[in-house]
Amino acid sequence: MATLSDVARRAGVSPATASRVINGSSKPVTDELRERVLAAVAELQYVPNAHAQLLARSHRSAVGVIVHDVSDPYFAEITRGLQRVATDQGRLLMICNSYRDPDRELEYVELLRGHQVAALILAGSGYHDEAFTRQLNEKLAAYEATGGRVAVIGRHEHSGDAVMPDNRAGGYLAGRELCGLGHRAIGVVAGPRILTTTTDRLAGLRQALTEQGRELPERRIRYAEFDRDGGAEATARLLDADPELTAIVALNDSMAIGALATLRTRGLAVPQQVSVVGFDDMPIARDVTPALTTVRLPLVDMGVRAMSLVLGAGAPAPRVEVLGAELVRRDTAGPVPRPGRATAPRARRGDTAS
């Protein structure tokens, strides 16, 4: 690889001058030398060694992000928001997938610290795990002690800047909607119970049912992986245990899609026999058939805000931004079927392509 001194030598200047030209330093350089340097750069196809630059420069610029999986639409949307702000500010993003493995999450914090990121964003759900939380907080504290900025998305036991989707309110919305449609036997297809996302959404849901004088017993909840196959499998277990179910709440849209697959396999019409409500409103939600009724979270905006928090001026007190959830009515939630009468399939509501 050509180095800066190669360029300098070829241009007949000192490395200092070459560096100044290449970085557009404020220190003035004669046009003639400038041109000679630029020519040498082009001829040698010179690209500065990023590591050497980062070592020599004082200020850190990159931002680290830890998500569960960028290819999961939930995180893809959040990342889009993060990226937008980062790009605007000329920051490089280092994105790490923890695949919901707490140990890997810890490792990535170290790794990103080692890479001298200016800030760190934890975009995955928090865990109900004291030992892990303590370790994570130690590492984050060490990082913050050296001037690193941290923001979390979701409920983590971390005192600092945070963007919180209102999962509880979202759960409540889903529950109220189904109650309003007359459902009593409501099953829940939940993500891993160790995630705060799961428990928060569940808590909101439970509150809605309780307010309506209904209840949500544990036997109507099935925990599984937070993805399509987890949803399919949990739905199957739920139906096996309780064939009377008239509605299913899936705690994210991927699981909801799995639930729809299982219902289809079993010949249960949605929403005529069983209603389904998802969570997140990922883009695909409107394209499944019937289009998914779900709870929308402002995912992109969450990313935008988290990045803004972390790149903005440090506030004395930790800032917490709660972002509301919103019910999106589509075609998978309908009135509870009248008992004792065989339900005939009705025409599906039309959907709009846009």
Stretch that binds DNA, among 23-31, 210-218, 221-229, 278-286 (CB under 7 A): 23-31
Q: Please tell me the distance from the alpha carbon of residue 141 to that of residue 145, in angstroms, as a whole number.
A: 6
Is 23 among the residues that bind its own copies (CB under 8 A)? no
Q: In sequence order, which residues have a C-beta less than 8 Å from that of residue 147 and are 6 or more positions away?
A: none
The answer to whether the bond into 271 is cis (omega within 30° of 0) is yes
Is 42 among the residues that bind its own copies (CB under 8 A)? no
Is 332 among the residues that bind DNA (CB under 7 A)? no
Single residue of 24, 316, 339, 350 touching its own copies by CB under 8 A:
350
Residue closer to DNA (CB basis): 16 or 322: 16
Single residue of 35, 42, 43, 49 touching DNA by CB under 7 A:
49
Coil, strand, or helix at residue 248?
strand
Work out what residue 217 binds among DNA, its own copies, none; the CB cut-off runs from 5 to 8 Å by kind: none
Residue 247's H or E segment, with its range, is strand 247-250
Is 258 among the residues that bind its own copies (CB under 8 A)? yes
Q: How far is the CB of 59 from DNA (least distance, A)?
A: 7
Q: How far is the CB of 187 from its own copies (least distance, A)?
A: 16
Single residue of 95, 181, 185, 311 touching its own copies by CB under 8 A:
95
Work out what residue 265 binds among DNA, its own copies, none; the CB cut-off runs from 5 to 8 Å by kind: its own copies
Q: What 8-state DSSP symbol labels residue 315?
A: P
Work out what residue 130 binds among DNA, its own copies, none; the CB cut-off runs from 5 to 8 Å by kind: none
Count residues near DNA (CB under 7 A). 30
User: Cα-flanking dihedrals φ and ψ of residue 153, to 5°?
Assistant: -115, 120
Structure token digits, residue 125: 């759900």
**Which residues inside 131-190 make contact with its own copies, applying CB under 8 A?**
138-139, 142, 146
User: Cα-flanking dihedrals φ and ψ of residue 29, to 5°?
Assistant: -135, 135
Residue 277's H or E segment, with its range, is strand 275-277
Work out what residue 33 binds among its own copies, DNA, none; the CB cut-off runs from 5 to 8 Å by kind: DNA
Q: What 8-state DSSP symbol labels residue 223?
A: E
User: Cα-flanking dihedrals φ and ψ of residue 237, to 5°?
Assistant: -65, -40
**Contact, 215 vs 209, CB < 8 A?**
yes
The CA-atom distances, in angstroms, between 96 and each of 70, 71, 239 are: 8, 11, 37
**Which residues inside 25-44 make contact with DNA, applying CB under 7 A?**
25, 27-30, 32-33
Is 39 among the residues that bind its own copies (CB under 8 A)? no
The answer to whether the bond into 290 is cis (omega within 30° of 0) is yes
Work out what residue 297 binds among DNA, its own copies, none; the CB cut-off runs from 5 to 8 Å by kind: none
Q: Please tell me the distance from the alpha carbon of residue 294 to that of residue 278, in angstroms, as a whole number.
A: 4
Q: Give the burial class of 300: count Cβ atoms within 10 A of its Cβ; 0-12 exposed, 13-18 middle, 19 or more buried.
A: middle
Is 354 among the residues that bind its own copies (CB under 8 A)? yes
Indicate the length of the chain as a whole number: 354
Is 1 among the residues that bind its own copies (CB under 8 A)? yes
Count residues near its own copies (CB under 8 A). 57
Single residue of 9, 113, 184, 237 touching its own copies by CB under 8 A:
113
- The residues that touch DNA, with contacts defined as CB under 7 A, are 1, 3-5, 12-17, 19-20, 22-23, 25, 27-30, 32-33, 46, 48-49, 52-53, 55-58
